[in-house]
Structure 1
Amino acid sequence: MDRAILAALQRDATQTASALSGRIGLSQPATWRRIKRLRDARVLSGRRVVLDREALGFGVTVFLGVKLATKGRVSLDDFERAVTAIPEVQLVEHVLGLYDYRLRVVARDLSDFERVLRRRVMTLPGVGDVEANVLLSEERRPGPL
C-alpha cells in the first residue's frame, strides 16, 4: 500500500488523502495515517511544482562536467557555495569520476548559455576543466522508485 501511495503522489502530489484513498482502495483515515507515517519517516518531504522550462523561455539545457583545479576541502566548499548562487544552475551533483561536479544549466539559447559559462561558471573559485553536453531531447522523465 505504501508503494501505491508513493507512486500516486509522485504523479500528482496535490491529491487529498480522500481522493487518493479511492484510487488505491484504502479508507481515507488509513490512507492519511500511512501518508503521515511516510512523512514522519522522511520518505516524503515537501511538495513540488514542475515548471516547463521551454514555456518559460529556457530552450537550452546543458550538462556541465566540472573538474576543479585544486581539491582541498576549502575549494570544494567555496565552489559549492558560489555555484549554488547562479540561478541558471538547476542541479549541482558532487560525483566520482573524471569530473568532480555535474551541473544542469538552463539558458534561453546557446548565446545565453555562452554568457553564463564565460561570466559565471568559468569565474567560479577553483574551476579547472569544463565539458559541456547539450541536451537534445529527454525521452524519459524520472519515474517512481
Structure 2
Amino acid sequence: MNDIDEIDRRILSALQRDAGQSLETLGAQVGLSRNACWRRIRALEEASILTGRIATVDAARLGLGLQVFMQIRTSAHAPDWLRKFSEATRAMPEIQGVYRMSGDLDYLIRARVADMAGYDALYQRLIARVPLSDVSASFVMEEIKETTALPL
C-alpha cells in the first residue's frame, strides 16, 4: 500500500484539512461515492498510512500560551537511562514531542505550558525523574506556521 495513487493522495489531503467532514462531502471533493471513500480510508488505515484522526485545539484559549523547545544533553546513553527518560517524558502531558537528535544536541523536547512558572514546574519534574547533563530552553515568541499536514 506504500504506492498510493492520486485519489488516495486527494483523500489524505482533504482529511488533513478536515478529518471531521462527512463521507459524502469527502467523496464530492475527490470524485468518489461515499462507499468508495470509506473503502479507501479503511485500506489506508489498514496499511498504517492513515494512523489517526484528530481535532486541533487552540492552546492559548485553553491557557497554554507558552510553547517551549527544551534542548537536552546527557552523559548517559545506557538502555536503562533511555527507558527512564522515555517513561518520564511520555508521562508528562505538557510534552508534545520528544526527538533524539544528531549532532551536539542529544534530545529536543517540544512542550506547551501556561507560563514561565509552568515551564519551571515541568523542568523540575523532569530533572527529578531522570539525570540530565544540560537543559536549555527556547521560548516561542511568535508562531509563524504550525501544521501537522504532510505535503502530498
TM-score, normalization by structure 2: 0.86
Aligned residues: 144
Secondary structure class of the residue paired with 1:62: strand
Separation of aligned partners in 2, 1:55 and 1:32: 34
CA-to-aligned-CA distance 1:50-96 (integer Å, 9 cap, x gap): 12110000111100011112111111111111122122212112222
Paired residue for 1:138?
A: 143
Contact 2:88-2:126 at 8 Å conserved across structures = no
Q: Which moved more, 1:133-142 or 1:2-11?
A: 133-142
* Structure 2 residue runs without a partner (length 5+): 1-6
Whichever residue aligns with residue 71 of structure 2, its letter is G
Paired residue for 1:128?
A: 133
CA-to-aligned-CA distance 1:12-64 (integer Å, 9 cap, x gap): 11122222001122222222221111111111122112121100001111000
Alignment of 1:1-145 (within 5 A): 1-117=7-123, 119-142=124-147, 143-145=149-151
Contact 1:83-1:124 at 8 Å conserved across structures = no
* Over 6 Å off, 4+ runs: none
Separation of aligned partners in 1, 2:107 and 2:60: 25
Contact 1:66-1:131 at 8 Å conserved across structures = yes
Contact 2:71-2:135 at 8 Å conserved across structures = yes
Secondary structure class of the residue paired with 2:133: strand
Separation of aligned partners in 2, 1:50 and 1:80: 25
Whichever residue aligns with residue 60 of structure 2, its letter is E
Secondary structure class of the residue paired with 1:133: strand
Decide whether aligned partners of structure 1 residues 121 and 16 sit closer, same or farther in structure 2, where only a CA change above 3 A counts.
same
Contact 2:68-2:138 at 8 Å conserved across structures = yes
Whichever residue aligns with residue 103 of structure 1, its letter is I
* Structure 1 residue runs without a partner (length 5+): none
Whichever residue aligns with residue 92 of structure 1, its letter is V
Q: CA RMSD in A?
A: 1.5
